[in-house]
């Protein structure tokens, strides 16, 4: 009897962590597990802040147009926003990687999305890796690319 209790207790302990991580990974609303950049995942104010970050911290080495079109889609289409965020945060600015705030990095990413014609939405994209990892970069339905000044 005692043995049986211990066995089932042990069994519960081993199963619980798996159940919990399953719960956390489930999409909150039960709908599609992922969003995509085609849905408008950043706001106008945000990409305009990102444009200023880019002008101040990035344009000295490469102009914004170098991130537009096939250069961008070949590397990033189908990937997650967390991949793009991670790449830029870990490697840029090339002379001082990681030197910007999380908010500046996420703002500058929305500027790159804007340049590549990904639609603008109403809410800001949060600098939160869990959220970013659930958003796929979708370049299949885009508006005409914006000029670097966004007009």
Of residues 16 and 61, the one with the C-beta less far from ligand HEC: 61
Q: Which of residues 48-67 bind ligand HEC (CB under 6 A)?
A: 57-58, 60-62, 66-67
Residue 14 CB neighbour total at 10 angstroms: 9
The minimum distance between CB 140 and ligand HEC, in angstroms, equals 19
Whether the CB-CB separation of 108 and 100 falls below 8 Å is answered with yes
Chain-centre distance for alpha carbon 50: 14
Question: Max CA-CA distance within the chain?
Answer: 76
Q: How many CA atoms lie within 13 A of 9 on its CB side?
A: 6
DSSP 80: B
Binding mask 83-112 toward ligand HEC (x if CB under 6 A, else -) reads -----x--xxxxx----x-------x----
Q: Which residues pair with 136 in a beta bridge?
A: 36, 80
2 to 21, contacts with ligand HEC by CB under 6 A? Answer: none
Cβ at position 106, least distance to ligand HEC in Å: 11
Using alpha carbons, select from 38, 119, 132 the residue that is nearest to residue 81: 132
82 binds ligand HEC (CB under 6 A): no
Find the binder of ligand HEC among 9, 71, 130, 143 (CB under 6 A).
71
Question: Which residues contribute to the site for ligand HEC (CB under 6 A)?
Answer: 57-58, 60-62, 66-67, 71-72, 88, 91-95, 100, 108
């Amino acid at each position: 009897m005692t043995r049986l209790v211990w066995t089932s207790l042990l069994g519960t302990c081993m199963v619980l962590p798996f159940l919990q991580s399953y719960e956390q990974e489930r999409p909150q609303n039960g709908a599609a597990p992922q969003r995509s950049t085609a849905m408008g995942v950043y706001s106008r104010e945000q990409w305009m802040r990102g444009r200023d970050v880019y002008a101040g911290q990035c344009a000295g080495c490469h102009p914004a147009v170098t991130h537009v079109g096939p250069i961008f889609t070949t590397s990033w289409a189908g990937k997650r926003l967390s991949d793009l965020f991670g790449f830029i945060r870990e490697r840029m600015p090339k002379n001082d990687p990681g030197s910007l705030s999380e908010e500046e990095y996420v703002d500058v990413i929305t500027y790159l999305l804007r340049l590549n014609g990904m639609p603008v939405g109403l809410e800001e994209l949060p600098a939160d890796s869990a959220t970013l990892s659930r958003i796929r970069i979708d370049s299949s339905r885009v508006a005409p690319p914006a000029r670097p000044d966004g007009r």
